[in-house]
Amino acid sequence: MADIRNLALHDDEGVAARASAPSTTGDPMVPRRYAITRVRQDTRDTFTLMLDPVDGGPMRFRAGQFTMLHAFGVGEVPISISGDPRGADEGAPLEHTIRNVGAVTRALVNAPPGTEIGVRGPFGTSWDAPDAVGGDVVFVTGGIGLAPLRPAILDVLAERDKYGKVLLLYGSRTPEDILYGDEMRRWADLNDVNVQMTVDNAPYGYKGKVGFVTELIARAGFDPRRAWAFVCGPEGMMRAAASALVSRGLPPAKVRLSMERSMKCGIGLCGHCQLRDVFLCVDGPVLDYARLEPLMNVREL
């Protein structure tokens, strides 16, 4: 029997490659160059990259969208944008908060200021937090999950008076892993945000709450009849949070989650991020729990 792997397409002449226009052609597979202006260390393993465009104007994006960040010669990873959606108009850098867990993220966070990296995007759906105008808003998140949610929180705080109660329920593994701690304190003090924090594990003598963030939902002070919830974290945590929110009386359609999957293209072509019929890079990453519930409750779907 012939081995299918050796039967390459009969291709003597080949498809001659010809270099053409540079990266400003609008091909979404070709990165735009951004220069790293600053790398801020947030926790022991988490860093925020500040980026300025090298060619073209600032990137306009919607809260919840992600980009593909490319460390030259190393590779590319999908990372949610963590900056203020209004920042582009004010000349603010493009912000991504990254956990240093792999070869690409290590190269990104260790790059000295001035280094150029490749950026494709923005891609994907938005939290569309302003759908909650007139009601209460509950953000539930854990660990670095706060980073993709931050633009949505900033959307709400930009027009704080249009919303009822705003709650931020945040969990982290240990007190050392708390992300954006100073900023959460400011949101609580200046923006009337009810911030509740909990940690999974704490050293002896820790004064704060210990336990899972999802356990805060049952007693959180919001009106489920007029509330929206935005949840971001590990999949098990999101499933538990969404379930607890629905138990409180929120309709699943008013609970939005941001899903993480392997993504190679960001534009619905590579197939990696499929969750049954959903391409999470273009149909998501933000989707409501009404759509996601049947997909999240099957193992390895």
Q: Is the dihedral of CA 225, 142, 38, 36 positive or negative?
A: negative
- Taking the CA of residue 22 as centre, how many other CA atoms within 13 Å lie in the half-sphere pointing to its CB? 6
Closest contact distance (angstroms) between CB of 259 and other proteins is: 10
In this structure, the dihedral spanned by the alpha carbons of residues 157, 140, 67 and 95, taken in order and rounded to 10 degrees, is 50
* One-character DSSP codes across 28-74: TTSPEEEEEEEEEE-SSSEEEEEEEESSSSPPP--TT-EEEEEETTT
Q: Which is nearer to other proteins, 6 or 161 (CB)?
A: 6
The rounded distance, in Å, linking the Cα atoms of 180 and 184 is 6
Q: Which is nearer to other proteins, 2 or 91 (CB)?
A: 2
Token look-up 């000295």 returns 112
Closest contact distance (angstroms) between CB of 52 and other proteins is: 13
Closest contact distance (angstroms) between CB of 96 and other proteins is: 15
Name the strands in the sheet holding 136-142, side by side, starting at the edge strand that comes first in the sequence: 209-210, 193-199, 166-172, 136-142, 227-232, 255-258, 286-288
Q: Which is nearer to other proteins, 30 or 218 (CB)?
A: 30
Binding site for other proteins (CB under 8 A): 1-13, 15-23, 25, 27-31, 33, 35, 70, 72-76, 99, 101-102, 111-112, 114-116, 118, 260-262, 264-265, 267-272, 274, 276-277, 279, 282, 298-301
Q: Which is nearer to other proteins, 42 or 260 (CB)?
A: 260
- CA 252 → CA 47, 169, 239, 244, 255, distances in Å? 33, 18, 11, 11, 5
Q: Which is nearer to other proteins, 210 or 301 (CB)?
A: 301
Closest contact distance (angstroms) between CB of 99 and other proteins is: 8
- CA 235 → CA 102, 218, 291, distances in Å? 20, 19, 15
**Does residue 61 contact residue 89 with C-beta atoms inside 8 Å?**
no
- Beta-strand relationship, 136-142 and 116-123: unpaired
Amino acid at 76: E
Closest contact distance (angstroms) between CB of 246 and other proteins is: 21
Closest contact distance (angstroms) between CB of 92 and other proteins is: 22
Closest contact distance (angstroms) between CB of 297 and other proteins is: 10
Q: Which is nearer to other proteins, 240 or 245 (CB)?
A: 240
Q: Which is nearer to other proteins, 132 or 259 (CB)?
A: 259
